């Protein structure tokens, strides 16, 4: 993956995370329900946070590591 494409994917992921962790969507999960014993709002925030971390790791690992070894 080229550096420009990687940069664009990371910026896209940043803005996706910004939208998912912003007020309008978070207010949908501000309810009294519990999922797996955790309040729905906390579950949603930590699930999206974990998903962003995993996707960031995947995008960075997708770069050509042989180029860095030289």
pLDDT of the chain, 70 residues: tens digit per residue: 578 889 999 999 999 999 999 999 999 989 999 999 999 999 999 999 999 999 999 999 987 554 555 5
Q: What number of other Cβ atoms are within 10 A of residue 21's Cβ?
A: 14
- CA dist 10 and 15 (Å) reads 9
Helix residue spans in the chain (DSSP H): 3-20, 23-28, 40-61, 65-69
pLDDT at 68: 56
Distance set, CA 35 to CA 26, 30, 40, 47, 51 (Å): 15, 12, 6, 12, 17
């Amino acid at each position: 993956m080229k550096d420009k494409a990687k940069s664009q994917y990371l910026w896209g992921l940043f803005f996706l995370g910004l939208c998912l962790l912003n007020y309008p969507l978070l207010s949908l999960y501000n309810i009294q329900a519990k999922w797996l014993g955790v309040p729905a709002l906390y579950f949603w925030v930590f699930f999206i946070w974990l998903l962003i971390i995993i996707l960031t790791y995947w995008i960075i690992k997708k770069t050509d590591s042989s180029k860095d070894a030289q």
